[in-house]
Amino acid sequence: MSGPLDGVLVVDLTRALAGPHAGMMLGDLGARVVKVETPGGGDDSRGWGPPFVDTPDGGRESTYFFSANRNKESIALDLKDAADKAVLTELVRRADVLLENFRPGTLAKLGFGTDVLAELNPRLVTLAISGFGHDGPEGGRAGYDQIAQGEAGLMSMTGSGPEDPQKVGVPISDLLAGMYGAYGVLAALLERERTGRGQVVRTSLLAAVVGVHAYQGTAHTVGGKVPRGQGNHHPSISPYGLFHCAGGSVQLSCGSEGLWRRLCTEFGLDADAPGFATNGERVARREEVIALLEGVFADIEAPELLARLAAAGVPAGKVRTLDEVYTWDQVESQGLKISVEHPTAGPLTLPGPPLRFFAAGADGEQETTRRDHTPPPVLGADGEAIRAWLSGAEPDGVPQPEGDDVEDGHAT
């Protein structure tokens, strides 16, 4: 396994999306990720669809599961069973990182609280992802992406207007929580090099969305404003957004007065017209700016408009459907598609990792990006090999913590 995390062992107890996405990010970086799943059904997302891929044996595989579980191994363990707990204990002893997204307190009920984990492996870095935080007045709430998008304010800022709240087109609070979680794990691993000890990293869907409020957050905390949805146009820059033209639409951005002047020169507009000369004036009169530009663009087809904007040096682009994205040569050039051979579903094309790595030297750069990706695993496919590895690595017996019987306690 190549990559910056080569030699790092991650035990992934998570399911659905936030935790699995974090685990996949670590796997993409070269870590060995052992995904622990429930016997029988495995990760919930194995059943989420359509779409599904039919397999030769009459089964089916979920494309949702494929999206968050490349570069992992799978072992099925019943964490209420003493023998399977012993296997998990062995994994914890050897692990560098453990990922969990149970509801707060559930892992302790299973006999693997943070005190037990620290005793088994003082160097262990644990990532715990919850819905709304592990403590506080609502710390026990289950976390579901769309609920978190609403509760954390994102939906109130997304949509055509204040009365039209909309969720983002992907489970963004789940994905952000996974990304922040992986970022925290890397920081904890780096600190472990200095201290010799691991620690617990916590994040939540709530924290992840608040963490990306950016200028909308400070518009409220500093400026006293309450941002609301206003469609496809920027709240603080004008013109910046989606504009209709003949037979379609384009997006453009005038993030500086220089770009505004280039736009006006190209299309015969007066950049210094009263009420339009500065960004602040244009933001205050946004609807007039939109009407002005869409009037100019009304007889220009999108390809011609994009060409003219490019020639004028005004940043612009089209709105692509996903089939257009994945056939775009620029996406191909950036390694954003990978090919793997799945043991039951056959050849798969998957979205690829978003990072590339290069070694710089006197002779220039040499790309060191990992290329040897493995497909999302079949449930329990690696269980026998993992058990054999564990028994050969430490044959002196393991403790078997007693856990209470617990209900399904996953948080995200």
Residues of the chain with CATH 3.30.1540.10: 240-317
For residue 400, pLDDT over 90 is answered with no
Active site residues: 174
The pLDDT of residue 408: 39
Does residue 365 carry a pLDDT above 80?
yes
Cα–Cα distance for residue pair 410/129, rounded to 1 Å: 10
H or E element: which one contains 280? helix 279-284
Question: Has residue 168 got a pLDDT over 80?
Answer: yes
- Environment class of 217 (CB within 10 Å of its CB; exposed 0-12, middle 13-18, buried 19+): middle
Beta pairing class for 346-351 and 337-342: antiparallel
CATH number for region 9-212+365-393: 3.40.50.10540
pLDDT greater than 80 at residue 34: yes
Report the pLDDT averaged over residues 240-262.
97
Q: Is 274 exposed, middle or buried (0-12, 13-18, 19+ CB in 10 A)?
A: exposed
Task: State residue 344's pLDDT score.
Answer: 94
Instruction: Report, at the CATH architecture level, how domain 240-317 is classified.
Output: 2-Layer Sandwich (3.30)
Kindly indicate the confidence band of residue 409, based on its pLDDT and cuts at 50, 70 and 90. Answer: very low
Position 163 pLDDT exceeds 60: yes
The pLDDT of 50-71, averaged and rounded, is 94
Instruction: Give the closest residue to 390 by CA, choosing from 92, 117, 124.
Output: 92
Q: What is the pLDDT of residue 406?
A: 36
- Over residues 274-330, the pLDDT tens digits come to 999 999 999 999 999 999 999 999 999 999 999 999 999 999 999 999 999 999 999
Average pLDDT over residues 260-275: 97
Residue 167 has pLDDT above 80, yes or no: yes
pLDDT of residue 397 exceeding 60:
no
Contact 42, 74 (CB under 8 A): yes
**pLDDT for 58:** 87
**pLDDT number for residue 329:** 96
Q: Per residue in 215-234, pLDDT tens?
A: 999 999 999 999 999 999 99
**Residue-level pLDDT at 412:** 56
Which H or E run includes 181?
A: helix 172-195
Question: What pLDDT was estimated at residue 316?
Answer: 98
- Across all residues in the chain, what is the average pLDDT? 93
Q: Which amino acid, residue 39? A: P
- How many other β-carbons are positioned within 10 Å of the β-carbon of residue 325? 13
For residue 296, the tally of other CB atoms under 10 A from its CB is 18
pLDDT at 140: 84
Q: Given this model, what pLDDT does residue 322 score?
A: 96
Q: Which amino acid is at 386?
A: I
pLDDT for res 2: 80
Pair type for strands 60-62 and 9-12: unpaired
The boundaries of every CATH 3.40.50.10540 domain in the chain are: 9-212+365-393
